[in-house]
Homo-oligomer: A and B are copies of this chain.
Amino acid sequence: MSAGSATLLISCPDQRGLVAAVTQFIFQHNGNILHLDQHVDQQAAVFFMRVEWDLTGFGIARADIPTAFGLTVGNRFKMDWTLRFSDETPRMALFVSKQSHCLYDILSRWQAGEWQVAIPLIVSNHESLKPVADSFGIPFHHFAISADTKAEQERAQIDLLKAHKVEFVVLARYMQILTGQFIGAFPNRIINIHHSFLPAFAGAKPYHAAHARGVKLIGATSHYVTADLDAGPIIAQDVIPVNHKDSVSDLVRKGQDIEKLVLAQAVWHHLQNRVLVYNNKTVVFQ
């Protein structure tokens, strides 16, 4: 039986000896590195690293690794670090409104086993996608939202997510702007898909704006949600060509194809513990 692997995601002030210290730690305890990637932002003098190693024969019990790493390496270099094990299954909540294309795309990946993730619940401000949730056997929670009830409903949503031990949230074309209250409960843990190549066409009706401007490409951008609308750290982006024959509804149709792919790509990176956020930007280790 495989002992699985462990993945460390690290950021800290840059200095000599960081890679040596981390890899020495792994080697001393008989770990075999599977993947290692690092990056130094020379301007900001910040060091980033992702390392994954095979736990077979590793000399430290799984539960003791955090303490051991923190004491011998992490603290010494003032590292921010997180440790994940490959056999842990992260818990994700899906938020949707009325459009189903991203929802189906995500659920079919989950059902086929493409993604190792648990989806304990789907949340929506409309009831129309409940049958989809039902067909995949996932509990569906409807929260009607108005300007008056938003704060209260968000509190209820947060409670619900906490009760289900949800670790991160995917907004799969959820057409509500989240308040700081909700965003603060899941910092850099809410992944949105916006239907434009940000920073162009932030805000409402980007396809209308793209059509009016006469662009020859339309895009989709997946990013972590921050207090600034459509201005959070970008995880993934893609575009497709359009031309003068395309009406706004053609842009909507064509755009949905990249919306679902770009969102899936961002969630995949997140699930693989490949994303670090700093300076409102991301490091995405490939």
Q: Which residues of A contact B (CB under 8 A)?
A: 15-20, 23-24, 26-27, 30-43, 48, 99-101, 104-105, 108-109, 111-112, 114, 135, 197-201, 213-217, 219, 233-239, 243-245, 247, 253, 256-257, 261, 264, 279-284, 286
Contact = CB atoms under 8 A, between A and B. Distances in A.
A251 to B, nearest CB: 13
A interface, over-half SS: mixed
Nearest to A199: B200
A214 B235 CA distance: 9
A18 B40 CA distance: 21
B286 A243 contact: yes
A19 B39 contact: no
Given A19-B36, A34-B40, A105-B108, 11 more contacts: A16-B27, A16-B30, A18-B33, A20-B26, A20-B27, A36-B37, A37-B37, A48-B244, A199-B200, A200-B200, A244-B284
27 contacts: A16-B30, A16-B32, A19-B27, A19-B33, A20-B20, A20-B26, A33-B40, A35-B38, A35-B245, A48-B244, A101-B112, A114-B256, A198-B200, A199-B201, A199-B213, A213-B281, A214-B234, A214-B280, A214-B281, A214-B282, A215-B237, A216-B234, A217-B219, A217-B237, A239-B239, A245-B286, A257-B264
Contacts of A17: 27
A234 B100 CA distance: 30
A216 B233 contact: no
A239 B200 CA distance: 14
A215 B232 CA distance: 11
Contacts of A101: 108-109, 112
A243 B253 CA distance: 22
A217 B197 contact: yes
A281 B41 CA distance: 31
B243 A216 contact: no
A260 to B, nearest CB: 9
A264 B20 CA distance: 34
Contacts of A264: 257
B16 A114 contact: no
